[in-house]
Structure 1
Amino acid sequence: MATIEVDDGTKRTVSFAARMANVTEGEIVRRLIADSSLAGEEPTERENGVPIYADYEGHRTRALYFAPARVQIVDGPLKGKSFKTPTGAARAIVRHYNPRVNDNRNGWSFWQIDNGGPRVWLQSIRPTNADD
């Protein structure tokens, strides 16, 4: 994981913003950079997506999350598939790797944000109006 040196005041500010938004400090920095450096450009869909992953049955599946609820799988056997909700994507993964079990899963707690740091569930950035 890469590191960035900042002064103590900046660190406190970023930490506070992360706690208030219930996201990682890295996510706060990513959002600040995206908001300031891409303001005049039209970002691609991939740049707008939040990288996420799920570990199931010894397999890691990577995807992109697009608010308010869409998930697009970007690797593995389901690569290229898009789902209207995180739950739909989670159920597809369970069906693929273990078709004999009930695929009922809550996608918001199945997926994790791929931030290179501590575990952060997709639920932490779920919009208040997202259905699932």
Structure 2
Amino acid sequence: MAEIAVSSTVQERIALLSLAWGISEGEAVERLLNEFQKSGQRRLAPNADKRIPVHAVYEGSRTEGLFDPGSEVLEITSGALAGKRFRSPSGAAAAVVGTANPRVRPNRNGWAFWVCTDTGSILQMIRRER
């Protein structure tokens, strides 16, 4: 088996991802590399503006949605907010949090709140590609 040397900071980040995704550290690195490779292919794809399936889990409840990278509109497709469209991922995240728990401040960074369902990466990764 081949080994690579990484800084302690990178090792901690890989460990955190593997814990969050419930996979080994090696599988986490492989997932990241696969996503990086796919992102390059998506940039070259003729239909790169298709909506992307996303989801978020808040207080044990999963909410599904579709994100349009061209307009940055996020439409929620499941749960109490199904059918609602938001001008930003953060607006959609705040609505999910506010609906689930009206006692807390609902402001959230939607780019980190929503996860791309197909890849398991946070929506922020899509934003970086553009």
TM superposition score normalised by structure 1: 0.62
Length, aligned pairs only? 99
Report the alpha carbon displacement of residue 95 of structure 1 after superposing the two structures with TM.
0.4
Percent same amino acid at aligned positions? 39
User: Which whole-Å deviations, capped at 9, do the CAs of 1:25-54 have from their partners, x for residues lacking one?
Assistant: 56666x48x63xx7xxxxxxxx82000000
For 1:25 and 1:74, the matched residues in 2 are separated by 28
Aligned match of 2:117: 114
Secondary structure of 2:79 counterpart: coil
Q: Decide whether the 8 Å contact of 1:94 with 1:103 is kept in 2.
A: yes
- Uncovered stretches (5+) of structure 1, i.e. residues with no partner: 1-14, 39-46
- Uncovered stretches (5+) of structure 2, i.e. residues with no partner: 1-29
For 2:75 and 2:59, the matched residues in 1 are separated by 20
For 1:101 and 1:25, the matched residues in 2 are separated by 39
Root mean square deviation, CA, Å: 3.1
- Which is helix-richer, 1 or 2? 2
TM superposition score normalised by structure 2: 0.63
Moved beyond 4 Å, runs of 4+: 24-29
Aligned match of 1:49: 51
